Structure 1
Amino acid sequence: MSRLPDDLAARLRFLARVVDRECKHLSQTDARLFAEPFTAQRASALDDDPTQAERVEAFVSRFARLQDTLGDKLLTSLLRAIGETPGAAIDNLDRAERLGWLPSADEWLAARQLRNRMVHEYVEDPAVLADALQTGHTLVPMLLQAAERMLGELRGRSWL
């Protein structure tokens, strides 16, 4: 077990707690929203169904938040902890893939583009929203797996 600087160790413990909570929240929202397929018809009815509209907003927000926390915060801190110098996002993602923390940097980037589509385009076209949400739903396991692998790395090094 290598000794980390106190500030980095505290940051990693904090981020681990945040990621754990975000995974739990995303999983719960995902299960509720996708108990049945999300169709363009369901998307068209959101204005008249505030409960579903709130679930959509929660899913999009939680999907984006977990991806941001993992990719922008935990990954860079974890790279620092193992003695690497974080670089551009794509370089960090490639490194995380090589280390086995991400299944695929390309899949991660596709999820990032999807996140942007869910956030910005859905208001105008229910079919785009439905497609984006269903695709996001299929990517939730990848996010959860990446979270577990990074947290597993922390546990394996006795940093948690």
Structure 2
Amino acid sequence: MKSDQIQWLRDEMVNLELAATHLRFSLDRSRELIDRPVWSLEELERLESLTSRFARLADLLVQRVLRLIDDLELSPRDSVLDRIQRAEKRGLFEESGQLMRIRELRNLIAHEYVSDQMPDIFRAVAALTPALLAAIPKVKAHGDALILRYTRDDSSADSHDRID
């Protein structure tokens, strides 16, 4: 079971980095559009891609990677809020409450159908994307340390099995 979780975490770390690369690209392409009052259809598509990539990375981080880390660290399976608080205690975010704001914005993106709120959403995504991207190397380092620890533990257990 642990070896399956370790492999899944390895896979999700790759997905996390790829999603962060895509979000960074979208932010760079959209940065000058954020504060405009109106957009062409092409510009709107770039901004919508930015919000979609932001939501995808936030989901991948909170719903998959942090859950896997909690499972490997034998943390209880409880609420998303508890998972977020543990991530902040691990030092994965610079400022307390950042991940909660990211999660709330992700939920707003997923359920927002009113176009008059989109300019505020685009600005919020642009404002929170740097914090989300800054957390990825920390999460990756934490995940890599877990992978190393469990891989080392497994190989140590295997060598004991051969000796006995």
TM-score range, shorter chain: 0.7 to 0.9
What is the aligned residue count? 149
TM superposition score normalised by structure 1: 0.81
Deviates more, 1:8-17 or 1:132-141: 132-141
2: CA distance, partners of 1:122 / 1:134:
16
CA RMSD of aligned residues (A): 2.2
Equivalent pair of 1:93/1:102 in contact (CA under 8 Å):
no
Q: Tell whether 2:29 aligns with 1:29.
A: no
Runs of 4+ displaced beyond 6 Å:
none
Amino acid aligned to 1:94: Q
1: CA distance, partners of 2:26 / 2:94:
23
Q: Which has the larger radius of gyration?
A: 2
Amino acid aligned to 1:154: G
TM superposition score normalised by structure 2: 0.80
Give the equivalent residue in structure 1 for 2:2: 5
2: CA distance, partners of 1:121 / 1:12:
31
Equivalent pair of 1:67/1:143 in contact (CA under 8 Å):
yes
Equivalent pair of 2:102/2:132 in contact (CA under 8 Å):
no
2: CA distance, partners of 1:84 / 1:120:
30
State the SS of the aligned residue for 2:75. coil
Give the equivalent residue in structure 2 for 1:139: 128
Deviates more, 1:148-157 or 1:66-75: 148-157
2: CA distance, partners of 1:40 / 1:119:
23
Give the equivalent residue in structure 1 for 2:156: none
Q: Which has the higher helix share?
A: 2
Q: Any idea what the Cα deviations from partners look like across 1:86-131, whole Å, max 9, x if unmatched?
A: 3111111111111112334522222222233344446431xx3222
Amino acid aligned to 2:135: A
Q: Tell whether 2:146 aligns with 1:148.
A: no
Ranges in structure 1 where 5+ consecutive residues have no aligned partner: none
2: CA distance, partners of 1:129 / 1:66:
19
Deviation, 1:133, is 1.1
Ranges in structure 2 where 5+ consecutive residues have no aligned partner: 152-164
Equivalent pair of 2:16/2:61 in contact (CA under 8 Å):
yes
1:130 to 92, 115, 119: 119
Give the equivalent residue in structure 2 for 1:115: 106
Identity of aligned residues (%): 26
